[in-house]
Amino acid sequence: MGTRFEHPLAVRAHEGGFVELASGPLVWLSAGRVDLLVTAAGVGRRVVVVSGPGSRLTEAMRDALTCFDGRWVVDDGQQAYDGLTGAVLGSWADIDQPSGTSRAVAGRFLDPPANMYGDVRLVMSWSQRHKADADTVVGGMLEGFLAGLGLAAPAGWGVCEPVTEPWDKAEVTRFARSRVPDPTRVVVVGHHPDTLSATVSVQRTREGVEETVTGLVRVGPIGSDAAQDRLAAVPGVLAGLCESTMPLSAVVMAQTGSGDLAWGPWVPGIPVPVAVLVGPPGVRDLGIDVADAVQHWSALRAGRPKLPALVYPFTDGTDPVAKLRGILAGIDRSRLPEALVRDLGSMGGV
């Protein structure tokens, strides 16, 4: 069936992709899965990971599968559905459609275990620009963000899971530099108990070196003082980081989920915006009136006086989605950075 594809993890192929059958409670981004994703992408195919309803994906695996346009199919013995959207899949042909095309949602996806929403985690995504010179070091903004929230620096990094190298941003930088002009993606994890699961991507551009960070940060149990204090601190932490970095954009949302930061095949907690950062290039290119943003939207002016960034906080008690819609109403969305549009769109209905 389909194109012949030789790989230890690919049990069969269909017209649009290659199938791996995954078992066990946790599906992680192993070296074999990294190789499968990259190899399949090289021949224009996607990877379909098929598991039972008792399996969950690590954040690194979910991120890689999404990045490579892969699919997670959950087969509960009665029906198959997309593990990330809940869309019911009637046939293999449905897998080749954009994720979430089906209007039917699996009942099991809407009925998650009660103990899977006990913690508050930050869903973070940001990008920043570095100069392409010998003094450039990546990973500093991630360290600064964690420190600002009173959390420890990352514990380790690697190209797959489990990570094998102790965290050292100089070593991550050297690894990325050795791969130029190819882009680099590494997995970064926090200390036990799990506080961080992120992907750091580094790529040369015409403007210099662009670093992108996506992932999850556990900030504490629901209702705890620690979680509330860290949520309140996020806007100020982002503003402070603008003093020493050149951020392009950032979106930080809060979401309930499991403390180990894994993703189950059920509806996730609704993400709520905590802070949105528009970096100096965006403020300039979008023609944002900085004084108006500060006055009407309580934006924090940050960074250089003549080339400021803006951090819009959503921790002031107002309806965060309504506030975000109001802010976006005054901005030409077609001129927003692509990454910022993607992350805002993940809030749904914004």
pLDDT in tens, 250-273: 999 999 999 999 999 999 998 999
Q: 224 and 133, same structural domain?
A: yes
Q: What are phi and psi of 241, to 5 degrees?
A: -70, -20
Quote the pTM value. 0.89
Share of the chain above pLDDT 90, in %: 63
Structural domain contains residue 49 = yes
How many Å apart are CA 192 and CA 196, to the nearest integer?
9
User: What residues make up the domain containing 188?
Assistant: 119-345
Last residue of a domain, one of 111, 135, 166: 111
Domain CATH number, residue 56: 3.100.10
Structural domain contains residue 212 = yes
Structural domain contains residue 3 = no
Structural domain contains residue 7 = no
309 band by pLDDT with thresholds 50, 70 and 90? very high
Q: 90 and 171, same structural domain?
A: no
User: 17: part of which helix (H) or strand (E)?
Assistant: strand 17-21
Question: How are beta strands 184-189 and 196-205 bridged, if at all?
Answer: antiparallel
Rounded to 5°, the CA angle 233-165-237 comes to 10
Q: 125 and 84, same structural domain?
A: no
How high is the mean pLDDT of the chain? 88
- The pLDDT tens digits for 234-248 are 999 999 999 888 899
Q: 174 and 312, same structural domain?
A: yes
Q: Cβ distance 26 to 62 under 8 Å?
A: no
Q: 159 and 274, same structural domain?
A: yes
Q: How many domains does the chain have?
A: 2
DSSP state string for 95-145:
HTSPTT--S-B-TGGGS--GGG--EEEEEEEEEEEE-SSTT--SSHHHHHH
Q: 336 and 197, same structural domain?
A: yes
Q: 182 and 34, same structural domain?
A: no
- The pLDDT tens digits for 65-75 are 999 999 999 99
Q: Cβ distance 45 to 15 under 8 Å?
A: no
Q: 152 and 35, same structural domain?
A: no
DSSP state string for 23-52:
-SSEE---HHHHHHHHHHHHTT-EEEEEE-
Q: What integer pLDDT is reported at residue 193 of this predicted model?
A: 73
Task: Lowest mean pLDDT of 12-26, 79-93, 206-220, 324-338, name the range.
Answer: 324-338
Last residue of a domain, one of 53, 84, 111: 111
- The pLDDT tens digits for 25-43 are 999 999 999 999 998 888 8
How many Å apart are CA 238 and CA 250, to the nearest integer?
8
The mean pLDDT value for 134-141 works out to 93
Q: 174 and 144, same structural domain?
A: yes
10 band by pLDDT with thresholds 50, 70 and 90? low
Structural domain contains residue 6 = no
Q: 225 and 272, same structural domain?
A: yes
Task: Lowest mean pLDDT of 83-87, 166-170, 346-350, name the range.
Answer: 346-350
Q: Cβ distance 202 to 138 under 8 Å?
A: yes
How many Å apart are CA 151 and CA 4, to the nearest integer?
48
Task: Classify residue 143 as left (phi > 0), alpha (psi -120 to 50) or beta.
Answer: alpha
